[in-house]
């Protein structure tokens, strides 16, 4: 009988595991979500037993206050929670505020896709590619995040992310990270991104 207590839990996926093909197969999502993502949650719960001060605070607070393995695990949970929400079987093209900002800053949606995809292809090692909004400049920015980096620690508002750790693409794409980064654009949940813009940037 386990006496473990659970402070952090794995959020449900927002869509069926077989619904993101051909971007990702059901097998790849199962391995990623039930394997890697859940492992970060289990590790975080074990750290919360070891360090009881983690038990009453949020993951966002943890990434701001801690470094090392506590930061890494909390940040990887936040990154994966966010990544799944950025995806949708009914991907389309951006509209509304996000479309206007992309158009203004990257000249076209196609240019934006090209720049983001190139960052993913060129990223060296494990990490995440981000589209963020910088409240201090009111500009969008594409960022490379190494390892578990999450842009909230620098005051940025994350709008979109792509997991470029090998575990994210190897099951379906082996070493073809380029194809993975290109197929990503078929499954973006632009409605979710527009909601973040409304709630966090333009207010209600």
- Residue 144 phi, psi (nearest 5): -90, 125
- We find the least distance from the C-beta atom of residue 165 to Fe ion, in angstroms, to be 5
- We find the least distance from the C-beta atom of residue 20 to Fe ion, in angstroms, to be 14
Residue with smaller CB distance to Fe ion, 83 or 94 = 83
Name the residue number minimizing CB distance to Fe ion: 163
Residue with smaller CB distance to Fe ion, 98 or 168 = 168
- We find the least distance from the C-beta atom of residue 163 to Fe ion, in angstroms, to be 4
- List the one residue from 28, 62, 132, 163 that touches Fe ion (CB under 5 A): 163
Q: Which long-range contacts (CB under 8 A, 24 or more apart) does 11-18 make?
A: 11/81, 11/84, 13/84, 14/84, 14/85, 14/87, 14/88, 14/189, 15/87, 15/88, 15/89, 16/89
Question: Tokens at residue 51, please?
Answer: 């360090």
Q: Residue 194 interacts with Fe ion (CB under 5 A)? A: no
| Sign of the C-alpha dihedral computed for residues 122, 124, 129 and 134 taken in this order | negative
Q: Which residues contact 108 (CB under 8 A, 6 or more apart)?
A: none
Per-residue binder mask for Fe ion (CB under 5 A), 108-147, x = binder: ----------------------------------------
Residue with smaller CB distance to Fe ion, 173 or 197 = 173
Q: Which stretch binds Fe ion (CB under 5 A): 10-18, 129-137, 146-154, 155-163?
A: 155-163
Q: Which residues contact 13 (CB under 8 A, 6 or more apart)?
A: 29, 33, 84
- We find the least distance from the C-beta atom of residue 113 to Fe ion, in angstroms, to be 21
Number of residues in contact with Fe ion under rule CB under 5 A: 3
Question: Tokens at residue 110, please?
Answer: 């196609």
Give contact residues for Fe ion (rule: CB under 5 A): 163, 165, 168
């Amino acid at each position: 009988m386990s006496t473990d207590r659970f402070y952090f839990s794995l959020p449900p996926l927002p869509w069926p595991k077989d619904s993101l093909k051909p971007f990702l197969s059901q097998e790849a999502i199962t391995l990623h979500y039930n394997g890697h993502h859940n492992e970060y949650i289990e590790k975080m719960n074990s750290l919360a037993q070891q360090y009881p001060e983690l038990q009453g605070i949020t993951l966002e607070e943890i990434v701001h206050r801690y470094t090392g393995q506590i930061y890494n695990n909390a940040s990887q949970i936040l990154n994966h929670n966010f990544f799944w929400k950025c995806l949708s079987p009914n991907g389309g093209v951006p509209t509304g505020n996000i479309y206007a900002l992309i158009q203004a800053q990257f000249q076209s949606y196609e240019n934006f896709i090209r720049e983001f995809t190139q960052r993913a292809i060129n990223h060296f090692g494990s990490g995440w590619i981000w589209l963020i909004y910088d409240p201090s400049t009111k500009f969008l920015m594409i960022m490379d995040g190494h390892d578990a980096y999450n842009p909230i620690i620098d005051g940025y508002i994350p709008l979109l992310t792509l997991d470029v750790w090998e575990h994210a693409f190897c099951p379906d794409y082996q070493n073809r990270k380029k194809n993975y980064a290109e197929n990503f654009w078929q499954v973006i949940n632009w409605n979710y991104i527009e909601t973040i813009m409304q709630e966090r940037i333009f207010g209600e």
